[in-house]
Amino acid sequence: MVPRFGTDGIRGAANSELSPELALALGRAAARHLEGAPFLVGRDTRQSGPMLQAALSAGLAASGRDVVDVGVITTPALAWLAAARRLPAAMISASHNPFEDNGIKLLGLGGAKLALGTERAIELDLHSTGAGLAPSASAERALPLLAVGRLLAEPAAVTGYIDHLVDRMQGAAMPEGLVMLDCANGAASGVAPLVLDRLGVRHQVLFASPDGTNINAGCGSTHLGALAREVVKAGAALGIAFDGDADRMLAVNHRGEPVDGDQLIAMFAKDLHAHGLLVRSTVVVTVLSNLGLRHALAAAGIGVIETPVGDRHVSDALEAEGLVLGGEQSGHLIFRDRAATGDGLLTALLLFELLGRTGRTLADSADLAMRRLPQLLHNVPVSDPSRLVSAGAVWDEVAAVEAQLGESGRVLLRPSGTESCVRVMVEAGTHEEAEQLVLRLSAAVARELADDSALA
């Protein structure tokens, strides 16, 4: 099967679905389709990262491209480097996925995600060369030895990104209380604490001892429980949690309650709007954004542009419309006038500045910004998520649920862009109603799309 780009690069189980052979072929294809030299390559803390990075780099070098290994680095830091140096880049990471998975994200000149047309061209290239096998002699002639690319290393490259963040935030108001920092045993472990040290933010660090297998394991932005407990135990002002490659961030208030990306968007959007800095008084959100966010923004005179799930869609809409703020409930927030991609650490610093300037707690700020409607999301494993579009019985059930909810709730079913599952989301007036309806729809999906499905 030909590998395909999902919403955030190519992902799969490391050493099987995402093999060194595939990474090698992808390196060759990327060299043919992406301009600029040398090629920057970084990784998160997964055990499989060095293996896949070596294979990808070998493919690039075999096609005549110099490669600079920047070591363990966050995706936003790599994107910043690519933008600052006008170079292409590749990040070896599966973001919030468990350590058994890995992925390869390709970035064009300027640190932006690849255009869909470029991704499709690379997929066709992989298909023509066997999708994971080295190209035949007819597909690509062997280069003379002197034309083979060099493999270089610049492990201190991330310091430029650290300096950049510190310079931008110098003099900004910062919270006076203790901040708990959950680095997910990922790429933020060696970056975020240094930035907070230099800005004088009092903090304690959790889950910053990566061993190659503990990335996202019971920690980080997808597992806020441990952070919440430590925030309450320490009497901290708030907690911040990153995912494995730190392109997203979620928060926990002093009561141990989560603050998600929708609430953060509402806080930032209202603040920018009040200061006349929200271009066209409009933000970009995805179809998963809570209905409560839409209500709160409308009441504040702020418009919404809705996109499919995936920060690449948010980024594309921001660029197309010339807007400055967009994001996802998962914590991917993009400040287009400040960064080319979602940046969890930048978002955390801007949150610190907002709280320090207003003097409010995170709990008060989030409560003032919006009221969340109960929202439940179930993942239903299926072998072929694309079959959802033609599953008539499922859509009949959706129509019945929507009629029951009326204007008091919302339903969304979509095939995942990163996993073999259908995501079923329901918003309703009460948690109990949302739970009942999401189970009803999930059962319909499992029944119609796969004999061996089970609710996740």
Write the pLDDT tens digit of every residue in 176-210: 899 999 999 999 999 999 999 999 999 999 999 99
What is the rounded average pLDDT of the residues 251-258?
Answer: 98
What is the Cα–Cα distance from 211 to 185, expressed in whole angstroms? 8
pLDDT at 141 over 70: no
pLDDT at 396 over 80: yes
The structure's pTM equals: 0.89
What is the rounded average pLDDT of the residues 43-67?
Answer: 97
What tens digit of pLDDT does each residue of 350-383 get?
Answer: 999 999 999 999 999 999 999 999 999 999 999 9
Q: What is the pLDDT of residue 279?
A: 98
Closest to 350 in 3D by CA, of 265, 254, 284, 285: 265
Q: How many helices (H) and strands (E) does the chain have?
A: 14, 18
What is the rounded average pLDDT of the residues 215-224?
Answer: 97
Token pair recorded at residue 16: 């099987």
Phi, psi of 325 (to 5 degrees): -135, 135
- Which residue segments constitute the domains of the chain, with CATH numbers given? 10-155 (3.40.120.10), 160-259 (3.40.120.10), 261-369 (3.40.120.10), 375-449 (3.30.310.50)
Measured CA angle at 22 (ends 60, 96), to 5 deg:
100
What is the rounded average pLDDT of the residues 142-158?
Answer: 88
Q: What is the pLDDT of residue 2?
A: 63
Coil, helix or strand for 101? strand
pLDDT at 134 over 50: no
Closest to 304 in 3D by CA, of 327, 287, 284: 284
pLDDT more than 90, % of the chain: 85
pLDDT at 455 over 80: no
Q: What is the pLDDT of residue 349?
A: 98
At what angle are helices 261-274 and 362-369 packed, to 10 degrees? 80
For tokens 């707690």, name the residue.
Answer: 361
pLDDT at 130 over 70: no
What tens digit of pLDDT does each residue of 285-321 get?
Answer: 999 899 999 999 999 999 999 999 888 899 999 999 9
Q: What is the pLDDT of residue 18?
A: 95
* Confidence band, pLDDT 50/70/90 cuts, at residue 5: confident
* Confidence band, pLDDT 50/70/90 cuts, at residue 140: low
Q: Where are the alpha helices (DSSP H) in 235-343?
A: 261-274, 291-299, 311-321
Token pair recorded at residue 283: 């933000």
Q: What is the pLDDT of residue 138?
A: 38
The upper half-sphere exposure of residue 451, i.e. CA atoms within 13 Å in the direction of its Cβ, equals 0
Report how far apart the first and last C-alpha atoms of the chain are (Å, whole number): 25
The upper half-sphere exposure of residue 286, i.e. CA atoms within 13 Å in the direction of its Cβ, equals 24
What is the rounded average pLDDT of the residues 249-268?
Answer: 98
Residues annotated as catalytic (active site), given as ranges: 95
Q: Which residue has the higher pLDDT, 9 or 261?
A: 261
pLDDT at 454 over 70: no
* Confidence band, pLDDT 50/70/90 cuts, at residue 416: confident
- Which helix H or strand E contains 226, and what residues bound it? helix 225-234
What is the rounded average pLDDT of the residues 394-420?
Answer: 91
Q: Supply the DSSP string of 156-224, one letter for each residue.
A: TTHHHHHHHHHHHHTT----SS-EEEE-TTSGGGGTHHHHHHHHT--EEEES----SS-TTSS-STT--
Question: Are 343 and 353 spatial neighbours (Cβ–Cβ below 8 Å)?
Answer: no
What is the rounded average pLDDT of the residues 227-233?
Answer: 98
pLDDT more than 70, % of the chain: 95
What tens digit of pLDDT does each residue of 103-124 get?
Answer: 999 999 888 889 889 999 999 9
The burial class, CB within 10 Å (0-12 / 13-18 / 19+), for 1 is exposed
